[in-house]
Structure 1
Amino acid sequence: IGAGSYGIVRKVTRRSDGKKFALKTIRKAPWRQPPTSRTSVQYYHSKLRNELEVMRKIGSSLSIVYLYDSFEDGDAVHLLMDLCTGGELLGRMRAGINYSERDAAELVRSVVRTAAQCHSRGIIFRDIKPDNFLFDNEALDSPLKATDFGLAGLITPGEKLTRRCGTPSYMAPEVINRNYGEEADVWSCGVVAYQLLTGRLPFVDKVNQRPNAKEVFRAILEDQIDFVADPWPRLSPECVDLVRKMLDRDPETRITARAALLHPWLLAPTSEEALSGATQPIGGQVVARLQRFSTYGLLKRSVLRLLGDQLRKDDPNAGPGVEGFLELFQLLDTSGDDLVEPDELQAGLMRVGYDITQDECEQLLDSLDTTNDGCIDVDEFLAALVDWEALERSSEAYPSWVKEAFNMLDKDGNGTIDAGEVAELVFMNEDDGKLTSEAKKVIAACISEADTDGDGLIDLDEFITLLQMDPTDRLDAYELRLSKRGGSVDLSADETVLVD
């Protein structure tokens, strides 16, 4: 169903149940002939590793094409992913679909949301363009999902990168000048927005309709951006303002992805309802909270489940919204067995006003299910929905819960948590000596989540740091998935509206 310079994408069918997936096959060596140099092969392999690492780091975000699994043989790596049947954003743009300004705003919000999620996880995308966003299905209002993270990379706050990469027409000026940070992604979002609204790129060679990269770079660095020609006079001032702020040539003053999501032009009516409290449980933030939780590492998710258990047993009224969360769990658990299965999760969320597919619920459940039993228990549910940052600020009991959780894991009481003790948490008391090599890799990854000094152990200070929440990882960076139909159940407790 697709091919590029790095591999082939096929539609595949799982024999056991007929479910369709996309399988991306990436060769371990470049296609180019003659054989490439050792340096270029190493870069190619780093690109391959990047795509895997980034997709795993982003988790079960509904804004991203989901990675179910990966396989390797002698010649290639195979990525089993969501099958998106609605085609590329670029394809719909070329098909001449007339988007209203509000429709365009919803699409731009999806693109900017992807950038914001990446940045909150320390990831720079580096190839934001319409080709890399797929519609989940063929409906006009289909969700949009990002794909192809081969050029993405990890970045720390304030770090500057120098490798010029991406697609020339969408490159920021500072990328061309080889000195850039995550702000470059916002410029690319601005180019996509401009293209969606006008049907053309902001930098075009009026003489040469097929300019080379050098001419494109010159135009990006020097040419004035046209905000005068049609349709700009017909667009709202808010629309023009945001596109200008994203296409600011100075990365220091350019709007950030997180700030762009709060810009009036990108605040859809449904988003405003959710932010003001409205009718859906937790101010319409359930699906957003589940996605954010899915981006945490396995160790952090597992420890938060322990804290959820302590919170529920010690004082269910201690945390804001906890009573409402427990009520929602009971509503979802239609079988009454104190577990929520994927079909119950989807049916319940749709009943209270969310629009989410069965596949997406299974993806979210895969991250919520830290005990690996195929269901969500009440403690896993609380772990995902509680505003732990607010709880840390407001509850005097929170430090004691954290210390108690640490002591529960530190079985031998020596003041540190080792790999064997992590294995007991993650693999439910499985003997560390009987773990497979893959399971041991999982444990090593868990240790690395918290082990800041590299000694292979987790002390109390590292444990506390692990549980600290990033204040920049805001819920507005995740899809709300509120249904246009609304919900039939109102769990509008005062405590449940938490805007963070």
Structure 2
Amino acid sequence: MGNTCGKVEKEVPKNQGDNFALNKRDLVRVKTTNIRNDYSIGDKIGNEKFAALHKCKSKQTGQRLLVKIFSVTAIEPKALESFIQEAELLREADHPNIIKVIDIYKDETNAYIVTEYCKGGELLERITELGSLSENKVASYMKQIISAVVYLHSKRIIHRDLRLENVMFLNKDKDSCLKLVEFGSCKHFEKNVRVLERVGSPYFMSPEVILGNFDSKCDVWSLGVMIYVLLSGSTPFVGSTETEIMQSVLTSELLFEGKKWKKISNEAKNLIRSLLNRNSKERPNAKHVLNDPWIKQRAENKVADNEIISSTLSNLNQFDNQSKLQRATLAFIVSQIMSSDDVGALQNVFKEIDSNGDGLLSKKEIRKALESNTGYSDNDIEILISKVDLDQNGLVNYSEFLAATVDWNKEMSRDRLVQAFKALDADHSGKISKEELMAAFGGSHTSSKIFKEMINEADIDGDGEIDLEEFCTYMENFKERVKS
């Protein structure tokens, strides 16, 4: 085996016939194999509702991650259902401010979720260390959190337990992005259907949750409490017991008293008043909150500059998805092999282009970002989106954007390709079969003919499977096309 992947020895076939759509959910499977075959589980670092939190390390990539361990035998069926709910949700979530799930396992005694490890700690811990915050900093934090909530609501998911303890920094950097990390209380909802159940923390609980009859507007109330706490260091409704706190939520007047509120703008106070309106019908939805002038104006100094956007979009326009296997592999590497630290400034670029904060890039948003460049027609933009839109929904999501804009000449190293190959080679035979591709990329809803085509694209020796050298040679061809 050589140290570098060789040149392609046969022509890569173009897409023909069946369409291939790849969703992020397809890249994460619930595995029944022993998690310790793939991960070294380290010290316990804390507890979450129903789960013990441990550091862990991928044996394939060396990446340091977090694993949530749920005891199947020790918890009630309802709690186990909560785990399954969280696991299923995280499989679907694809947003820069939502924790990324890497793997899900289940055996006779335990269930496991392997996720990114947020080394930056909780938002509240950072605030305590800093000692004070400006309105602009609060708005920049809240813009990220609200964007995640807008995304969840667009997927018909209510979080139901939004609180500052569930928001963490990805790393220790000053400008680290925030991640929403716990989803055990999330629930899918249908429009105009209200949920009869009380969940969440009393301090952040909306009146309708206390009364046991709520919808997605309960998350908006929680956002209002979060802004209040971040600006003042105290909660808007207090009590010495949970019952007293909930009674205060239901009846106490919302006040902005003391020196701490004198320097806070009226725009901030007005926004909080609208979010903490006890009449949920008069409360704005999350998307309206994201577009509130206070959020947009105060968070303005956190956006990426135009120069970065221009170069990133140049990369995006060069992206070529003619090969089903190549584009599926790139999405797999972004989702499962690369960490959020690896993608760096691209997170901020995505959020800058995503002007409405819904976690998806529309044709309108991409067109606006391209205004500074010349020569892009409406047809050019249509073609560009079709190149990177892996799930074929007419929008570019976060993983699709990363797969298109990452500097693959730099990031697609031999080591990374080996990691991806080993992850796809589920039976460790040294070759990737059609069945393994189907399992990795959503074969349950896609024609097996497409996966046979994928094999044929890279199968140089014609044995019906892809070995490591064939895989590397094939992916190296993608790098050569990007260079040119």
- Report the TM range for the smaller structure's normalisation: 0.5 to 0.7
Is the 2:138–2:231 Cα contact (8 Å) retained in structure 1?
A: yes
CA-CA distance at 1:15 after TM superposition: 2.6
CA-CA distance at 1:380 after TM superposition: 6.8
CA-CA distance at 1:146 after TM superposition: 0.4
Aligned pair partner of 1:105 in 118, 128, 139: 139
The 5 Å alignment of 1:79-478 reads 79-95=113-129, 97-205=131-239, 211-268=240-297, 281=309, 328-330=316-318, 354=349, 381-383=387-389, 388=394, 435=435, 439=439, 442-444=442-444
Per the alignment, residue 78 of structure 2 pairs with 43
Q: Could you say what secondary structure the match of 1:216 adopts? A: helix
Is the 1:29–1:44 Cα contact (8 Å) retained in structure 2?
A: no
CA-CA distance at 1:177 after TM superposition: 0.7
Cα 1:272–1:44, aligned 2, differ >3 Å: closer, same or farther? same
CA-CA distance at 1:437 after TM superposition: 12
CA-CA distance at 1:89 after TM superposition: 1.3
Per the alignment, residue 406 of structure 1 pairs with none
Cα 1:54–1:108, aligned 2, differ >3 Å: closer, same or farther? same
Question: Equivalents in 2 of 1:89, 1:179: separation in Å?
Answer: 30
Cα 1:330–1:238, aligned 2, differ >3 Å: closer, same or farther? same
**2:163 counterpart letter in structure 1:** K
Aligned pair partner of 1:7 in 32, 51, 58: 51
Question: Equivalents in 1 of 2:441, 2:349: separation in Å?
Answer: 36
Q: Could you say what secondary structure the match of 1:54 adopts? A: helix
Per the alignment, residue 92 of structure 2 pairs with 57
**2:83 counterpart letter in structure 1:** L
Moved more, 437-446 or 257-266: 437-446
Cα 1:331–1:119, aligned 2, differ >3 Å: closer, same or farther? closer
Cα 1:234–1:440, aligned 2, differ >3 Å: closer, same or farther? closer
CA-CA distance at 1:352 after TM superposition: 12
Cα 1:441–1:104, aligned 2, differ >3 Å: closer, same or farther? closer
Identical-residue share of aligned pairs (%): 24
Is the 1:93–1:199 Cα contact (8 Å) retained in structure 2?
A: no
* Structure 2 runs not aligned, ≥5 long: 1-44, 352-358, 360-382, 397-432, 448-484
Question: Equivalents in 2 of 1:108, 1:197: separation in Å?
Answer: 11
Cα 1:348–1:177, aligned 2, differ >3 Å: closer, same or farther? closer
Question: Equivalents in 2 of 1:327, 1:95: separation in Å?
Answer: 39
Is the 1:161–1:178 Cα contact (8 Å) retained in structure 2?
A: yes
**Structure-1-length-normalised TM-score:** 0.57
Question: Equivalents in 1 of 2:347, 2:283: separation in Å?
Answer: 38
Q: Deviations over 1:40-99 (max 9, x none)?
A: x2321221111011111213x111110011111211111110011011112223445311
Q: Could you say what secondary structure the match of 2:259 adopts? A: coil
Cα 1:219–1:58, aligned 2, differ >3 Å: closer, same or farther? same
Question: Equivalents in 2 of 1:272, 1:384: separation in Å?
Answer: 32
Cα 1:445–1:379, aligned 2, differ >3 Å: closer, same or farther? same
CA-CA distance at 1:17 after TM superposition: 3.7
**Structure-2-length-normalised TM-score:** 0.59
Q: Could you say what secondary structure the match of 1:25 adopts? A: strand
Q: Could you say what secondary structure the match of 1:231 adopts? A: helix
Q: Deviations over 1:218-260 (max 9, x none)?
A: 0000001112323222111221121111111111011111001
